[in-house]
Amino acid sequence: MGEALYDYALRLGDDSLVLGQRLSEWCGHAPMLEIDLSLANVALDLIGQSTHFLKLAGEAEGKGRDADTLAFHRDVLDFRNCLLVEQPNGDFAQTIARQFLFSNWQELLFRELMHSKLEVIAAIAAKAVKEVTYHTRLANEWMVRLGDGTAESHARVADGLDWMWRFADELFAVDAALETLIGDGIAADMRLFRGEWDIRVDKVLADATLEIPKPRRAATGGRIGHHSEHLGHLLSEMQFLPRAYPGARW
């Protein structure tokens, strides 16, 4: 139980941490001030979520590692985030396409997790779901604005979506480790809301005059530590300071 929960809390926490770090790369570079604020705010929410989930992971592991230790002193093979969140930002449209797929999924996930039998997971989800609803709305609105915008914005967001689409199936994949926690009523069964996610995504894409991308061979492996090259580069920047100066305090 401790080990399974450790792994699950890492999956939840690493999704938020890695996407939060990715989005923070936009800080000071976004196309408009309002977008800069939006992406920085979303990043902040995600990093807040990861703090709670990684704290839980540390407690489940029982080796005295806190959230910061898990975030900054773990190597790439020990990260359990999905491949979607580690994908590079690309242009603004590609960033929005990634956020669109992820936030719609995370919102449905947290709605389920609010009923987790593990109180701490239920509490984190109940609190965060309100914030994630904002993220979903932001991403959905931008999908429509870009897709139903100019020829260039349409082409860019279609490209971004096409790239991100292959990582969507992994969001719903359930393996043996997860199956046990689902049986215990602790983890959410993502297969239950795949249909609802599809409906949401299809509707926004229709409003955005975008085609649903053609099915592709799904890229998976993040949940067992098989990552794309991008994650290592992200971590090298994120982890540099605490690794170079162990025990550094503000």
Instruction: Give residues in contact with other proteins (CB under 8 A).
Output: 34, 37-38, 40-42, 44-49, 52, 119-120, 122-124, 126-128, 130-131, 133-134, 137-138
**What three-state secondary structure class fits 161?**
helix
Q: Among positive and negative, which fits the CA dihedral 205, 210, 215, 220?
A: negative
Smallest gap from residue 43 Cβ to other proteins (A): 8
Q: Give helix then strand counts, H and E, for the chain.
A: 11, 0
Task: Between 133 and 239, name the residue whose CB sits nearer to other proteins.
Answer: 133
Smallest gap from residue 19 Cβ to other proteins (A): 12
Contact criterion met (CB below 8 Å) for 70 and 13: yes
| CA separation for the pair 139, 144 (Å, rounded) | 9
| CA separation for the pair 225, 33 (Å, rounded) | 36
Task: Between 76 and 120, name the residue whose CB sits nearer to other proteins.
Answer: 120
Task: Between 128 and 146, name the residue whose CB sits nearer to other proteins.
Answer: 128
Smallest gap from residue 95 Cβ to other proteins (A): 15
List all residues 6 or more positions away from 27 whose beta carbon is below 8 Å from its beta carbon: 36, 39, 40, 43
Task: Between 106 and 227, name the residue whose CB sits nearer to other proteins.
Answer: 106
- Which residue has 């773990």 as its token pair? 74
Smallest gap from residue 108 Cβ to other proteins (A): 16
Smallest gap from residue 38 Cβ to other proteins (A): 4
Task: Between 3 and 196, name the residue whose CB sits nearer to other proteins.
Answer: 196
